[in-house]
Amino acid sequence: MDDLIVGIDLGGTKIMAAVVDAAGGIRHRTFKLTPVQDGPEAVLGAMVEAARETAAGAGVSLDDVSAIGVGSPGPLDPDAGVIICSPNLPGWDHVPMKDRIEGATGRRVFLDNDCNVATLAEHALGAGRGVGNLIGLFLGTGIGGGVVINNRLHRGFSRQAGELGHVVVDVNGPKCGCGQKGCIEALASRRVMCRKIAEALEQGRKSTLTETDPNKIRTSMLAEALARGDELVREVMTEAMSYLGIAVASIAHVVSPEMVVIGGGIVDALTDDLLDVVRTSATERALPLVMDGVKFVRAQLKEDAGVLGAAVLARQQLAG
Ligand SMILES: [Zn+2]
């Protein structure tokens, strides 16, 4: 039997599971809605079902796979495999996800937060192949991140390293979901950009999105607006990317990455010139040698990043 792993990407709205081979190829994918309103037991049950179904879809059974990797919203304890709590999983309180899935499947289970596994995926199989030191920044409803140092995901003393969305870039800035002010998440997430566009539209600013319900602005619409030369969208996204660059400069002084991978829901609207805004903003604020030769790139794996990263995590942990 090939060396197969089941990767599971648990999201607040959907669960994706996939059978991943040793080369990082996906043999089969399964999608399910996350029954989040039915509580942790129902969600764990759906994850196990998704794992079984995707194994069957790949023509094997769970007994044939080496392990199960999971990327989950956090905060979580990756060693104990416990979800501590999560804004995306209301009512969850210290749920022992690893133990429960191991009990139900008989397979070893490895767990980490969604942005850490997405960073692992980009490092092993995506934009960061062959790069020993990189950071991942994922812009969606919030901003998450991950840090790879010397080819290893960095978890740190608290096991919570890589929470890059809460790097403060403006101590007098807007309030963040975490309670602090001026975190990069409160200034550059997709949600914040869409809100700023909606506010400007309400104030009568002209835009190609004028006819759009401001609550329903999607990334594809942002990309299209940019392509059509929309000044408002360009202005809002440029400001956000400039803030992101400030965060990158701070992070770079600690980590010294060779590459900055930017992904998440926003990636399809991230034009080359917006990537340049991040680079320029970071370069202006960092010691010159720190930013010399650093590459700024888009994440490549899109919706597969979660399952692939979960599989990479499991494979690395099995190998010790
Ligand atoms: Zn914060």
Q: Three-class SS string for 212-230? A: CCHHHCCHHHHHHHHHCCC
Q: How far is the CA of 229 from the centre of ligand 1 (A)?
A: 32
Q: How far is the CA of 119 from the centre of ligand 1 (A)?
A: 20
The one-digit pLDDT tens for each residue of the chain (320 residues) are 569 999 999 999 999 999 999 999 999 999 999 999 999 999 999 999 999 999 999 999 999 999 999 999 989 999 999 999 988 899 999 999 999 999 999 999 999 999 999 999 999 999 999 999 999 999 988 999 999 999 999 999 999 999 999 999 999 999 999 999 999 999 999 999 999 999 999 999 999 998 887 678 889 999 999 999 999 999 999 999 999 999 999 999 999 999 999 999 899 999 999 999 999 999 999 999 999 999 999 999 999 999 999 999 999 999 98
Q: How far is the CA of 164 from the centre of ligand 1 (A)?
A: 9
Q: How far is the CA of 111 from the centre of ligand 1 (A)?
A: 23
Helix, strand, or coil (residue 173): coil
Q: How far is the CA of 249 from the centre of ligand 1 (A)?
A: 17
Residue with tokens 């081979």: 21
Q: How far is the CA of 142 from the centre of ligand 1 (A)?
A: 9
Distance of CA 218 to the CA centre of its chain: 17
Q: How far is the CA of 280 from the centre of ligand 1 (A)?
A: 24
Q: How far is the CA of 176 from the centre of ligand 1 (A)?
A: 5
Q: How far is the CA of 75 from the centre of ligand 1 (A)?
A: 13
Q: How far is the CA of 170 from the centre of ligand 1 (A)?
A: 11
| Tokens of residue 215, six digits | 């609550």
Q: How far is the CA of 320 from the centre of ligand 1 (A)?
A: 33
Q: How far is the CA of 114 from the centre of ligand 1 (A)?
A: 17
Q: How far is the CA of 202 from the centre of ligand 1 (A)?
A: 27
Q: How far is the CA of 219 from the centre of ligand 1 (A)?
A: 23
Residue length of the chain: 320
| Tokens of residue 264, six digits | 């998440």
Q: How far is the CA of 298 from the centre of ligand 1 (A)?
A: 23
Residue 40 parent element (H or E):
helix 40-57
pLDDT of residue 2: 67
Q: How far is the CA of 177 from the centre of ligand 1 (A)?
A: 6
- Give φ, ψ of 35 to 5 degrees: -80, 60
Q: How far is the CA of 12 from the centre of ligand 1 (A)?
A: 19
Helix, strand, or coil (residue 90): coil
Q: How far is the CA of 166 from the centre of ligand 1 (A)?
A: 4
Query: Under 8 Å CB-to-CB from 168, ≥6 apart: which residues?
Result: 180, 181, 182, 183, 184
Q: How far is the CA of 163 from the centre of ligand 1 (A)?
A: 9
Q: How far is the CA of 218 from the centre of ligand 1 (A)?
A: 23
Q: How far is the CA of 183 from the centre of ligand 1 (A)?
A: 5
